[in-house]
Amino acid sequence: MTTFPGSPQTLRGGFVLMDGEGKLVLRTVAFQYNPDTLHRSLTPRGAKIDAGDRLEGLRLVGPPVETIKLEIEFDATDRLEHPQQNQATVQDGIAPELAELEAILTPDPAALEAADALARTGTLEVLPLPSPMVLLALGRNRLVPVRITEFGVVEEAYDTRLNPIRARISLGLRVLSIDDLAFGSKGAQLFMAAARRRDTLSKRKPPNMQALGLTGVP
């Protein structure tokens, strides 16, 4: 896992967790290694077409539903070669890194206890527990709000204390759009910034029918 010392420094991807209003960064979770591959799927959301309704065939009702699948790795091998400089890794392996990711999906223990206290006092309706807004950060030009929909862990090696020291995490994400977030909120603003950038990139080249072997549309 050691990189060539002369290679250029690459930004690391990860997650940014903010409060629900998007005003305060709560914490960040950086990937130890960037994923080798990232699978993206966009499902168009076209208008419902009824037989004979010729006006709806070209209409879109909103942005596509975008899902992302990626796999990230954690490996403590290099750090364990220098135990004196990495006492935390010697003590716990990569358990802290796994815990950082798993905590994104888990309500705060204090919130669980508060919800239980409300239920015990006879509160008829306990609201869903609050969770932070999660942003996927893949460089400066890709920062989008997401919800984690799948989370799988494969632990591959352990130390003598049975702490995991190497693992692969498979993540499934759904990008949250203006259909999921209030327009004008921080999350919606980030989604629209990504949408505007995509639109700008798509219009960089003028139409070129000759490249398709055509002189025009018949």
Q: What is the pLDDT of residues 120-153, one digit of tens each?
A: 887 756 566 678 899 999 998 899 999 999 999 9
Give the pLDDT of residue 125.
Answer: 66
Whether the Cβ atoms of residue 66 and residue 134 lie closer than 8 Å to each other: no
pLDDT of residue 2: 53
User: How far is C-alpha 87 from the geometric centre of its chain's CA atoms?
Assistant: 30
Residue burial 111-124, b: 16+ Cβ < 10 Å; e: rest: eeeebeeeeeeeee
**43 compared with 109, residue with greater pLDDT:** 43
When pLDDT is cut at 50, 70 and 90, the band that residue 15 belongs to is very high
pLDDT of residue 140: 87
Q: What percent of the chain has pLDDT over 70?
A: 90
As a whole number, mean pLDDT of residues 173-177 equals 96
Give residue 193's pLDDT: 94
Residues 6+ apart with CB under 8 A from 95: 163, 164
Find residue 39's DSSP bridge partners: 69
Comparing CA positions, the residue from 86, 101, 82, 84 lying closest to residue 173 is: 101
Q: Where are the beta strands (DSSP E) in the chain?
A: 14-18, 25-30, 38-43, 65-75, 133-137, 143-158, 164-175
pTM of the prediction?
A: 0.84
Does the structure show a pLDDT above 90 at 38? yes
pLDDT value of position 16: 96
More confident residue, 40 or 1: 40
Average pLDDT over residues 50-60: 68
In angstroms, rounded to a whole number, what is the distance separating the alpha carbons of residues 74 and 95? 10
